């Protein structure tokens, strides 16, 4: 790009706010906060990173690193050495990833044909207050700044051009996702409209269990051979429902250690070995209370209660189920650290025989036959708005109305309903207090009865500017989320090589 410095002749009208934001975020902090471009001891060779063959310089990395340090607003020297090191590593990582993201966005924008006209670049430079004196652009101030950065005008302007492109790419997302005319007001109206619903929600399985089946009906059902065979078939196909798996009751002592940290692993091993020696003279529960890192079970002397297979991590489970009652294990290492396990009790796997379950199975089969009849009865009472008949039926099924409590129509998550769009849409059809939906709503295998307990309406004149501001802010957050998702995809497709030496703090 040609040097545009000599084309800057007249001050014109400055775009002060935009210039402040752009330069404040990118460059000015290094000069006007007195930070030396030395980078706090960052003196590594080669580029900071390479993105699709385009290098990011160490100088850019130092500048970004110093800017982030300045923005922290605190002096890291007040922290212990280990914490200072961690903060510095995080700061360097953040600086490097920020530059990589900026470069990825710039390349994506350029690939789409985005450019910055020279006139726009000139306007940005002329708008920076630090390059002005008495409101007029001063070339000497600009040149002094470039000298301080050790950049030529062409180098600086090229970098600035890329920064403007990145800013404009972000602006594209913001403008595309901003509310259309009237949307903010509409959203604010929804926000101020409050509802309170009565809801009854149940699954078919829950309804089957709730339907009352008399003992005489069960006896009558089981008096026929064909029904007994049907019950036996149900027993076989649901065999696991009548099995209680093998269980053990155990206590444990845990000393935590990250398996990737060799020093931590060694210390944990030494600590639990000492605990192992103590167990020769002291009760397991007492030692667990004193040293176990599993704080919840430690309060109970390491007691984990009864558990079956599949509840614990494989290494722990394999040892626990191979032990005898009263036995204490050797050291067991898992992803959490080192364990000592004591088996308190054991239960063998048990299968309840068909003869003991056949009455329960008969009740289930009879209830299944009644489901359609009960739902039809509900729909009939709702359609006729026969609240007495409905309440009598609900009482027999032990189903009770629950209240959502007051919520806004703009909520994406409705209490007791969740995000089920079909059910929410049906609920919003209710317009009068006390009104019930004239049918049972079925969605995703669940059933809903709905009625409107209360409704608070508002009008456009009641909407305050604050509500509109909140809607605009929500739109801004939405655009930021979409931009970050797009950036994440762009980064996945880019070839990125980092200079990991920059992240080493000595």
For residue 295, give the CATH number of its domain: 3.10.50.40
For the chain, the domain total comes to 3
Q: In this structure, is residue 482 part of a structural domain? A: no
| Residue 318 within any structural domain of the chain | yes
Is 302 inside a domain boundary? yes
Q: Which residues fall within 8 angstroms of residue 199, CB to CB, at 6 or more apart?
A: 401, 402, 403, 404, 416, 417, 448, 449, 450
**Domain shared by 97 and 203, yes or no:** no
User: Is 170 within the bounds of a domain?
Assistant: yes
Token pair of 173 as six digits: 């997302």
- Helix, strand or coil, per DSSP, at residue 301: coil
**Which secondary-structure segment (H or E) carries 199?**
strand 194-203
User: Cα separation of 243 and 317, whole Å?
Assistant: 20
Q: Which of 222-226, 247-251, 408-412 has the weakest average pLDDT? A: 408-412
Q: What is the pLDDT of residue 471?
A: 60
Residue 187 domain flag: no
Contacts of 428 (CB under 8 A, 6+ apart): 409
Q: Which of 319, 348, 377 is the last residue of a domain?
A: 348
HEC letters along 467-494: HHHHHHHHHHHHHHHHHHHHHHHHHHHC
* Domain identity same for 37 and 169: yes
Q: In whole angstroms, what is the distance from residue 364 CA to residue 358 CA?
A: 10
Which DSSP letter does residue 118 get?
H
**Is 494 found in the same domain as 446?**
no
Task: Compute the mean pLDDT over every residue in the chain, rounded to the nearest whole number.
Answer: 83
Say whether both 31 and 143 belong to one domain. Answer: yes
| Cβ proximity of 169 and 479 under 8 Å | no
pLDDT band at 185 (very low <50, low <70, confident <90, very high): low
Per mean pLDDT, which range of 27-31, 284-288, 292-296, 451-455 is the poorest? 27-31
pLDDT in tens, 114-169: 888 888 888 888 888 888 888 888 989 989 888 887 888 888 888 888 888 888 88
HSE at residue 190, side-chain half, CA atoms within 13 A, is: 13
Residues 232-286 pLDDT 10s:
999 999 988 898 899 999 999 999 999 999 999 999 999 999 999 999 999 999 9
Closest CA to 179 of 475, 474, 467, 483: 475
The answer to whether residues 266 and 234 belong to one domain is: no
Residue reference for tokens 């007029």? 136
Assigned domain for 468 exists: no
DSSP letter string, 309-377: TTSS-HHHHHHHTTSPTT-B---EEETTEEEEEEEEEEE--EE--HHHHHHHHHHHHHHHHHHHHHHHH
Phi, psi for residue 106 in degrees, rounded to 5: -60, -45
What is the rounded distance in angstroms from the CA atom of residue 160 to the CA atom of residue 143? 15
**69 and 147, same domain (yes or no):** yes
User: What is the pTM for the complete model shown?
Assistant: 0.42
Same domain, 44 and 174: yes
Q: Are residues 110 and 203 in the same domain?
A: no
Q: Are residues 29 and 128 in the same domain?
A: yes
Domain co-membership, 140 together with 160: yes
Residue 121, domain CATH: 1.10.4030
> What is the rounded distance in angstroms from the CA atom of residue 144 to the CA atom of residue 158?
18
Question: Domain containing 326: what range?
Answer: 246-348
| Residue located via tokens 């308190």 | 344
CA distances from 288 to 273, 274, 275, 308 (A): 13, 12, 9, 22
Establish if 470 belongs to a structural domain: no
What phi, psi does 473 have (nearest 5°)?
-65, -40
Residues 258 and 228 in one domain: no
pLDDT tens for 481-497 read 888 888 888 999 999 99
Whether residue 50 is found in the same domain as residue 19: yes
Residue 462 in any domain: the answer is no
């Amino acid at each position: 790009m040609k040097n545009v410095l000599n084309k800057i002749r007249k001050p014109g009208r400055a775009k002060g706010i935009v210039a402040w934001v752009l330069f404040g975020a990118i460059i000015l902090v290094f000069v006007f906060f007195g930070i030396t471009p030395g980078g706090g001891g960052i003196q590594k060779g080669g580029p900071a990173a390479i993105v699709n063959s385009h290098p990011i310089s160490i100088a850019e990395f130092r500048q970004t690193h110093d800017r982030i340090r300045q923005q922290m607003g605190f002096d890291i020297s007040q922290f212990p050495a280990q914490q200072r090191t961690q903060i510095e590593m995080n700061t360097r990582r953040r600086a490097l990833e920020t530059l990589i993201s900026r470069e990825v966005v710039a390349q994506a924008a350029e690939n789409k044909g985005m450019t910055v006209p020279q006139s726009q670049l000139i306007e940005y430079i002329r708008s920076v207050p630090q390059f002005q004196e008495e409101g007029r652009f001063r070339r000497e101030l600009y040149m002094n700044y470039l000298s301080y950065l050790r950049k030529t005008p062409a180098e600086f302007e090229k970098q600035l051009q890329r920064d403007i492109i990145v800013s404009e790419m972000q602006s594209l997302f913001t403008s595309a996702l901003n509310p259309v005319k009237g949307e903010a007001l509409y959203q604010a109206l929804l926000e101020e409209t409050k509802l309170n619903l009565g809801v009854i929600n149940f699954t078919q399985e829950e309804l089957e269990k709730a339907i009352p089946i008399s003992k005489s009906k069960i006896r009558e059902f089981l008096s026929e051979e064909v029904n007994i065979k049907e019950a036996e078939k149900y027993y076989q196909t649901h065999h696991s429902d009548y099995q209680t798996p093998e269980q053990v009751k155990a206590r444990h002592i845990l000393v935590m250690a990250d398996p990737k940290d060799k020093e931590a692993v060694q210390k944990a091993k030494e600590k639990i070995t000492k605990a192992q020696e103590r167990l020769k003279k002291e009760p397991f529960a007492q030692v667990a209370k004193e040293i176990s890192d599993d704080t919840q079970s430690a309060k109970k002397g390491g007691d984990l209660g009864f558990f079956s297979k599949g509840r614990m991590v494989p290494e722990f489970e394999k040892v626990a189920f191979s032990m005898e009652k009263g036995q204490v294990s050797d050291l067991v290492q898992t992803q959490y650290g080192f364990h000592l396990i004591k088996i308190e009790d054991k239960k063998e796997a048990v299968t309840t025989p068909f003869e003991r379950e056949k009455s329960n199975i008969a009740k289930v089969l009879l209830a299944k036959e009644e489901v359609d009849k009960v739902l039809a009865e509900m729909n009939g009472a709702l359609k006729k708005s026969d609240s007495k008949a409905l309440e009598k039926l609900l009482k027999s099924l032990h189903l009770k109305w629950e209240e959502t409590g007051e919520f806004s129509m703009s909520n994406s998550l409705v209490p007791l309903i969740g995000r089920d769009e079909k059910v929410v849409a049906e609920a919003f059809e209710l317009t009068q207090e006390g009104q019930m939906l004239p049918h049972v709503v079925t969605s995703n295998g669940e059933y809903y009865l709905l009625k409107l307990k209360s409704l608070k309406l508002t009008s456009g004149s009641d909407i305050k500017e604050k509500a509109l501001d909140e809607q605009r802010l929500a739109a801004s957050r939405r655009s930021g989320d979409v931009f970050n998702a797009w950036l994440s995809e762009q980064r996945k497709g880019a070839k990125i090589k980092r200079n990991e030496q920059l992240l080493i703090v000595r």
